Amino acid sequence: MRYINKNDVLIIAKNSGSLMIGIGLMCLVPIIVDLLFMEFNTIGYLIPASISIVLGIICKKFLDKYTVNKMRLKHGMIISALSWMWACLICGLALHLITGISIVDSAFESMSALTGSGITIYSDVEVLPYSILFFRAFQQWIGGLGIIVLILTFLSRPGTSSFKLYRSEAREDQIKPSTSATLKTTIKFYSFFTVLGVILYLLAGMPLFDSVCNTFCIISTGGMSVKNANIGYYNSDLIYLITIFLMIIGATSFFVHYQIIKTRGKALFEDLQFKVMISLIAISALLIFFTSRIVPIDMLFTVVSAITTTGASIPNSTVMARWPSFVIFIIMTLMLIGGSTGSTVGAIKLMRVITFSKGIYKNLQEIWSPEGSVVPVDRSNKKISDKVVAQSGNYITLYFLCILITWALLCLYGHDPFNSLFFSMSMQGNVGLEIGQLSQTIEWPLKIVGIFNMWSGRLEIYPILITLRAFLEVFKR
């Protein structure tokens, strides 16, 4: 049975046009910073931007008869997957042209920024041009909310196709009845928290450029920084606390942010995911406090950074590598779980973990209950079906399979098994924390594997599998 035909390919190409134009425009934004600091790297941004915009216009103009109304969810998922990869290549081309790193390195760096992974291949970010530092942070800010979410808001018409593309980027929550209204409301909240973050950092004494870039990276739970020592460079408890606050905001569902206003704050403390996240932070921090001699603020910061999948850090990776194994185990567990569904985080996400755990408890109840008993599964006082529980289990299985394969490949190349497992989980979960310096020492084939990990982790695997299936079918012919 054929799942992809010529008409499907044309529909995908036509509806990718707006996204390609948007990605091209994204590459033009750093030119403002380039001109302000007189770095004269404008051509490095214009070339990739022009390629993307011209190809996007061609797709829209010459394939106009393949209307958006014909789009199905499979089209949306393939468009989403290809758009993220296209953004990785186009933005990576700018990094390649300006900083001179290889194509593979530039693609890895760009995918890391866009997906909010925050892993960098640059050994010294402080020597990079200001426009590149801004561009990395801007990519994180765009990727945190979602490339498609932002581009749909400004370049696409509302309709069923918008909803399919919205869903294809691993988003389900509808803040407002229409997708268009949901997108605009989400961006308002995201922009508000971004401005708030910049103001708080400025009041704490951080320079303006650093404040903007760090806010972009933290509110998107991305974790890149303009300093080699990351947030630890500033040596300020106040800045650390502001960063913790912003990380938790970024890891909280946008739907909950909206409900907070409607319920005057009650929704935050009634949200199951938020309560579980705060509980995990508190329990993990206490366990580490009583089992190690790590500085409390460093420990709390790292715990929040891990569960929110931000990857920002106070201690560097070499210091973290010397922490007790039990502490590293707790951090790895938090990196697997992640924050709330409908936020900017990566990893498995709390709602899936909660649903899967309740499914296991239901199975146990069915065994010890009288024969014929009906055992419902409830989540936030709402019943959930066996299908939803199974879907959570299936995703978690695929997630661990991706980690296992990457871990095996890193070990095959001779890297330390424990560091390799940590790094595999960090890439797949779009986290960015490291123990050791694997990101700057791994071989180029492993960087390509890492690109796939970060890509699939951000889009939650299924769009990638559907895209690969489509490619196999096309090339079979």
What tens digit of pLDDT does each residue of 236-267 get?
999 999 999 999 999 998 888 888 888 877 88
> Looking at per-residue confidence, does 365 or 155 come out higher?
365
Start-to-end CA span in the chain (Å): 13
Whole-number percent of the chain with pLDDT over 70: 88
Instruction: Please write the tens of the pLDDT for every residue from 337-346.
Output: 999 988 889 8
What is the per-residue pLDDT for 98? 97
Higher-pLDDT residue of 408 and 466 is 408
163-167, 284-288, 299-303, 350-354: least confidently modelled range: 163-167
Confidence of residue 68 (pLDDT cuts 50, 70, 90): low
pLDDT digits (tens, 9 = 90+) for 202-221: 999 999 999 999 999 999 99
* Residue 372: partners with Cβ closer than 8 Å, 6 or more residues away: none
What's the mean pLDDT in 307-326?
94
3-state secondary structure 135-167: HHHHHHHHHHHCHHHHHHHHHCCCCHHHHHHHH
Per-residue pLDDT band at 181 (split at 50, 70, 90): confident
The dihedral region occupied by 375, where left means phi > 0, alpha psi between -120 and 50, and beta the remainder, is beta
Alpha-carbon distance 48 to 459, whole Å? Answer: 24
Q: DSSP letters of 173-231? A: --SSSSHHHHHHHHHHHHHHHHHHHHHHHHHTT--HHHHHHHHHHHHTT----SSTTGG
Q: What is the mean pLDDT of residues 162-177?
A: 54
Beta bridge partners of 379: 382
* Selected residue with higher pLDDT from 379 and 27: 27
Answer whether residue 182 shows pLDDT above 80. Answer: no
What is the distance between the alpha carbons of residues 114 and 63, in angstroms, rounded to a whole number? 28
Q: pLDDT class for 63, splitting at 50, 70, 90?
A: confident
223 — alpha (psi -120 to 50), left (phi > 0) or beta?
A: left
Tens digit of pLDDT for each residue in 103-153? 999 999 999 999 999 999 999 999 999 999 999 999 999 998 876 666 655
pLDDT of residue 25: 94
CB 81 within 8 A of CB 451: no
Exposed / middle / buried, residue 90 (Cβ in 10 Å: 0-12, 13-18, 19+): buried
Q: Is the pLDDT of residue 7 over 70?
A: yes
Lowest-pLDDT range, 192-201, 248-257, 322-331? 248-257
Residue 171 confidence (pLDDT) above 60: no
Q: How many CB atoms lie within 10 A of CB 417?
A: 11
| pLDDT of the residue at 160 | 46
So what's the pLDDT on residue 110?
97
- pLDDT at residue number 410: 97
CA 451 – CA 108 distance, rounded (Å): 6
The chain-wide mean pLDDT, for the chain, equals 88
Is a pLDDT exceeding 60 seen at residue 154?
Answer: no
Measured CA to CA, the distance from residue 339 to residue 473 in angstroms comes to: 36
Task: Give percent helix, percent strand, percent coil of the chain, each to the nearest 5.
Answer: 70, 0, 25
At 11 the pLDDT is 83
What pLDDT does residue 169 have?
A: 52
Over range 436-452, report the average pLDDT: 92
Q: What is the pLDDT of residue 112?
A: 97
Higher-confidence residue of 265 and 160: namely 265
| Residue 65's pLDDT band (cuts 50, 70, 90) | low
Per residue in 450-460, pLDDT (tens digit) is 999 999 999 88
